[in-house]
Structure 1
Amino acid sequence: MDIFVIDAFTDQHFKGNSAAIMPVTTFPDASLMQRIAAENNLSETAFIKPTGDNTYAIRWFSPLTEIDFCGHATLASAFVLYQFYQLKGEITFTTEQVGTLTVKQATNGNIEMNFPCQPGEEVEPPATLLKGLSITPIKVLKNRQAYIAVLPNEQAVHDIVCDAEQLKQLAPHDIVVTAQSSQYDFVSRYFWPANGGYEDPVTGSIHTALAPYWAQQLDKRELTAYQASQRGGVLHCKMIEDDRIIISGSAVLYLRGKVYL
């Protein structure tokens, strides 16, 4: 089986978020895909299967479980198809949980992904969430994927420490912390001990909630975001409709090889 490892949402090696991309003609059994993802031990392994002209079914697996929606591995999948499979124009990815995703290359070389918005609604924070964060949020929202904790300032996002055992109890939801930024429009960090690991380096999917929130707060349709993990990554977000968003970024190849089973 072909395998590519791509650093996504970055133009530098060892930054952004790594994804393993595995093009297949038929999806293997889900248990085998999960074991491959665990063996790869990256944030996500994406399996992509052609279903028509420039159309692919896509499934994403963390080392622990199948994931409903992953942005950085979608970007990485498109990068592989453009760079190594000679695809041109718009690519359509069909998914089981979030509908149809379309992707195209921008004139500056970035890959633009058209995603559904998944805004959060303000909620009373669970006690487990408050116990799991070293800094108390000023507001908490929740969408289908995660709790969104708005912190008092940008430095708090950098400084926060999480108790993984407490946050695991929020499963199946993860937790993202965010604040307005001086250099960017907003920053965030994403913690997912129940579904993947302690901290995800760059999480494209959660920006379908973060960008609509900050677009409203800042009265802007186009925003630049930075995910302030140890690796770090930059995401460009553009609200195009009330329920659709363009999230774009760059990617670089780290590894191309074969998996032998």
Structure 2
Amino acid sequence: MWKYHVFGIVLAAFVLSMGFFYQPFSAQSKEIHWGLKKATKEVPAEAGAELDAMLEKHGAVYKGSPDKKIIYFTFDNGYENGYTESILDTLKQENIKATFFLTGHYLESAAPLVKRMIEDGHQIGNHSYGHPNLARLSKDEVKKELQKFDQRLSELTPLKRTTVTRPPEGIFNEQVLEAANEIGYQHIFWSVAFIDWHRDQKKGGKYAYDQLMSQIHPGAIILMHTVSPDNAEGLPMFIKEARKMGYTFGTLDELNMNNLDIPLSSQQ
């Protein structure tokens, strides 16, 4: 009888040990879809203590200081739809620098616009080469996605590499953050966004303006897509009104988050 008792104890210990062993892996591989409740009354939404701790551990950010009325523009570019040039014109006219997170397809198919982004002083971010779900890739595969983009970037532009990255569709896990860190990338998420990626839907510049104004807050990292005519039309109105409210516009370099081995300003 005691043999069965001992066997039960050993089996329980084995199960517990296996559970303990696999728990960290499970936590690392859990797929996360980035998204926040919308900010209201100039107060940013929070990601929550658990996610905040994970992001801080890996140097990832989604907003700047809540004490400084600075806004950071970021754009995700997977394909061209004819409105990026207008947005670049607005940014140049208003003397604002932004970060453009590009895919391999955009890099290769819109070379003149990428060249202008660089010449105008904007930062290029890594949105992966092929726009896959990075959370379903191995760590080595994640690294290869980011490095393949940078390889093409160095072949097509004067830049050697990127130092900031954003996962396609905001889907990631802790393993993705780790993989990026290990090869010198910092993840940049966002605190302000709205549905603006449907190229066949046109709601007008007032729609984009209203969406941005309703979520504005100190330290906002804004995500927009240049495929939207609404954004091209609404951006000048938003910039003008934000400045009236005392906001200025900064760059990711100006955020004090250079906690990786490769500083954000070392692209060239």
Q: Normalising by structure 2, what TM-score? A: 0.29
Q: Normalising by structure 1, what TM-score? A: 0.29
Higher strand residue share: 1
Q: Which has the higher contact order (CA 8 A, sep 6+)?
A: 2
